[in-house]
């Protein structure tokens, strides 16, 4: 009889033997796809006039208070998270995260140039934007990357405790969006909160320990 507390006595699942690491081309394509979707989601959110969670939303709030530029604040806010990523998850994850942040910024320019949006209904824009961005972040997680900020904290907590990264990000996003009430009309904030829940549900329900076979 197997002992549930002893991993050496656990039966080997048939799927375990089929799990294998992503190849370099798969990682490259995965990171390009993930960053493209994240930037597209943010493009839709911006066009809808929505607030955002994460360090991007935090940078925006500080901009209103200080007058500093969003890119500068976004960089400064992400510095401690990058150091945390280097400490807890190593050079590979940290370098991938830096590359992902740069790609999201680059794709944002592409969207602004080739996909300008002059009128977007907020309800559709906020829900679609969060859904697309959530799928993009999920892809990045599965290729050992992230877009920095609270994503790093969420992954570290999941590694240490098993608590889903999606729920951790939802907590942080709720705090940031609640602070947005100071600068944004409450109907948009409420709708943005619903969108943040949708994004993080994508992660909470799909990025869980033991669920994904790729490495």
What is the torsional sign of CA 14, 18, 155, 106?
Answer: negative
- More reliable by pLDDT, 192 or 209: 192
pLDDT per position as a tens digit, 137-173: 889 888 877 777 887 888 888 888 888 877 887 888 8
d(CA 165, CA 163): 6
d(CA 178, CA 174): 6
**Mean per-residue pLDDT of the chain:** 78
Tell me what pLDDT residue 212 has. 58
d(CA 126, CA 49): 9
pLDDT per position as a tens digit, 69-82: 655 676 788 788 88
User: Per-domain residue ranges for the chain?
Assistant: 23-206
Q: Measuring CA to CA, which residue among 135, 153, 134 is closest to residue 52?
A: 134
Tell me what pLDDT residue 132 has. 93
d(CA 36, CA 107): 6
């Amino acid at each position: 009889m197997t002992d549930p507390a002893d991993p050496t006595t656990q039966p080997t699942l048939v799927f375990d033997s089929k799990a294998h690491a992503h190849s370099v081309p798969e990682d490259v394509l995965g990171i390009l796809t993930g960053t493209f979707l994240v930037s597209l989601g943010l493009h839709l959110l911006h066009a809808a006039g929505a607030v955002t969670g994460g360090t991007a939303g935090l940078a925006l709030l500080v901009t209103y208070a200080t007058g500093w530029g969003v890119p500068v604040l976004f960089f400064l806010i992400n510095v401690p998270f990058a150091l945390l990523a280097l400490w807890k998850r190593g050079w590979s994850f940290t370098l991938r995260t830096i590359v992902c942040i740069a790609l999201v910024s680059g794709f944002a320019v592409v969207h602004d140039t080739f996909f300008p949006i002059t009128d977007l209904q907020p309800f559709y824009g906020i829900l679609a934007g969060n859904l697309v961005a959530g799928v993009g972040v999920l892809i990045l997680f599965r290729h050992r990357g992230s877009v920095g900020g609270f994503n790093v904290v969420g992954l570290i907590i999941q590694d240490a405790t098993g608590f889903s990264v999606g729920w951790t990000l939802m907590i942080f996003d709720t705090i940031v969006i609640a602070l947005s009430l100071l600068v944004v009309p409450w109907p948009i904030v409420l709708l943005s909160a619903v969108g943040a829940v949708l994004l993080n549900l994508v992660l909470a329900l799909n990025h869980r320990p033991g669920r994904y076979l790729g490495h």
